[in-house]
Amino acid sequence: MLESENNLLEIRDLSVEYKTRRGVAKGVDAISLNVPENKTLGVAGESGCGKSTLGRAIMRLVAYPGRIISGDIIFNIEEDIVTSNATIKRGQVNLLKLNEKEMRAIRGKEISYIFQDPMTSLNPMATVGTHFIEIMKAHDPTIEDEKAIDRAKKILIGLGINPERVTDYPHQFSGGMRQRVMIGLALALKPKLLIADEPTTSLDVIVEAQILEEIAALKDKFNLTMILITHNLGVLAQTADNIAIMYTSRVVELSPTLDLFEKPLHPYAQALLQSVPDVTHPEKQLAWIPGAPPDLVNPLPGCMYHPRCPHAMDICTQIVPPLVEVEPGRLVACHLYLEG
């Protein structure tokens, strides 16, 4: 984990587990990450690698049968936050030490989340305006409905939506417009950190490009810090300053975006990039990663990528490689880069 004086968020040895009928599975395994202020951290990897679990853990929204079992999530608060039963002092705050009422004061106001599917995240029985009223009143009970609606209309205008549609219901919007509404709700209280979990998964490529442009513009406008979770490396190439590659609940590489695309270091990161179709050379054979991710209930010893890795050595089957800095600004968890 690279140290920095201007980190908005610091994740230290965070672990999340899920209890299943077959046993306990690690959703996130001893992850440490820093997110510098006003930067975008991309998190990528195959489905089931723990990307969304990491994002939900930051918000303390890991649902049963999952639970956070260890670690620290340090968030830097600029101003005191007054709740009904306590005051959260400004400065570095461990989110895992807060009670639920204090955490509710953080969600939306300091950290917001854009969920994967807006149709399942929005209440089908409530108008768009009602959604905005609820989120604003959750942090300011004294705000009048008319004032909340006026603020909602201004937000919708900024997202290219007719402000009069605050009286419409979610099913009356297209997929792209529902995602814009979700972005508007996430930004309604001007949070410092925005976590976007697969924000363009259900959209076509044209709308995806528009949404990404809007997110980038809003990030610059509000000086947002972002964590962008996706399996689409092309999306991260356009938006992220740094990228964390995850494999089976662990970070295996953390690099600046340009460095990662020019020269991926971890064999899994190399395989991911090689499996991206190359439209400039359509005759080129499409690469794939052999095998399948391991069973998290019965994890393999050593590096869990070794059954699929073309560079696997005997040590890879025995010892878990630590995430260490092997080049300036680049961290990799692979025995290929560890002396001895």
Where are the alpha helices (H) located in 232-280, listed in sequence order? 233-239, 257-262, 267-274
Is position 247 within any domain? yes
Confidence (pLDDT) at 212: 80
Please name the helix (run of DSSP H) or strand (run of DSSP E) that holds residue 113, with its range, or none: strand 111-114
* 194 touches 224 (CB < 8 A): yes
What pTM value is reported for the model?
Answer: 0.90
Is position 89 within any domain? yes
3-class DSSP assignment, residue 250: strand
Contacts of 221 by beta carbon, 8 Å cutoff, 6+ apart = none
* 312 touches 336 (CB < 8 A): no
Kindly report the average pLDDT of the chain as a whole number.
89
124-136: pLDDT as tens digits: 999 999 999 999 9
Cross-sheet strand order for the sheet of 7-20: 23-36, 7-20, 66-77, 91-94
State how many domains the chain has: 1
User: Per-residue pLDDT averaged across 167-171, rounded?
Assistant: 94
Residue scoring higher pLDDT (223 or 12): 12
Where are the alpha helices (H) located in 69-144, listed in sequence order? 100-106, 118-121, 128-139
Count of alpha carbons within 13 Å of 243, Cβ hemisphere only? 28
Query: What CATH number does residue 32 fall under?
Result: 3.40.50.300
Is position 149 within any domain? no
Is position 1 within any domain? no
- Highest-confidence segment of 84-88, 224-228, 289-293: 224-228
Is position 308 within any domain? yes
- Confidence band for 2, pLDDT divided at 50, 70 and 90: low
Residue scoring higher pLDDT (214 or 295): 295
3-class DSSP assignment, residue 10: strand
- Confidence band for 61, pLDDT divided at 50, 70 and 90: very high
Q: Is the pLDDT of residue 50 over 60?
A: yes
Confidence (pLDDT) at 304: 92
Is position 138 within any domain? no
- Confidence band for 340, pLDDT divided at 50, 70 and 90: low
Is position 34 within any domain? yes
- Confidence band for 1, pLDDT divided at 50, 70 and 90: low
Is position 90 within any domain? yes
Confidence (pLDDT) at 198: 85
Q: Which domain holds residue 303?
A: 7-125+169-337
